[in-house]
Homo-oligomer: A and B are copies of this chain.
Amino acid sequence: MKQKKTRRMTVQAEATLEELRKLKTHPTAEELHNILRKRLPKVSLGTVYRNLKMMVREGEALRLVQPDGEARFDGCVDVHYHIRCRSCGRLDDVEMKPLTRIEPRLQEQSGWLVEGHSLEFEGICPRCLSMGGVC
């Protein structure tokens, strides 16, 4: 028979989820690691990755891939959209209510079972605009 595979609440896992939820900057694993080190000086990057992966699997966090392939993480799992700055790379949330009609419509005419969508904008952020597009 199978093992129980019960999930344990360690200080590392707890702190990771907590800090991620606190941040609104969609940090990379490494950025989050640096922040966590202030509380837990010996926490390893590998552990951060392991816990982030668990959190994503359990639906407690989102994993967002950047154009360069690096991942950013989001502690808010409600459906929402993002916008990325082409100049400085920052990733912000967007104030826009979720599109609810497109999924059923696509499902009808496509033959796919449509289970979700992600929408990401790109452009230049206010800060970079005020600095002439370079920041």
Contact = CB atoms under 8 A, between A and B. Distances in A.
Interface string A4-28: 0000000000000000000000000
Q: How many monomers of this chain does the complex have? A: 2
A122 to B, nearest CB: 5
Given A120-B117, A121-B103, A112 B96 contact: no
Q: Bin chain A's interface residue count.
A: 35 or more
B115 A86 contact: yes
B103 A113 contact: no
Given A65-B65, A67-B65, A69-B70, A123 B113 contact: yes
Interface of A: 63, 65-67, 69-71, 83, 85-86, 92, 94-96, 102-103, 106-107, 109-126, 129
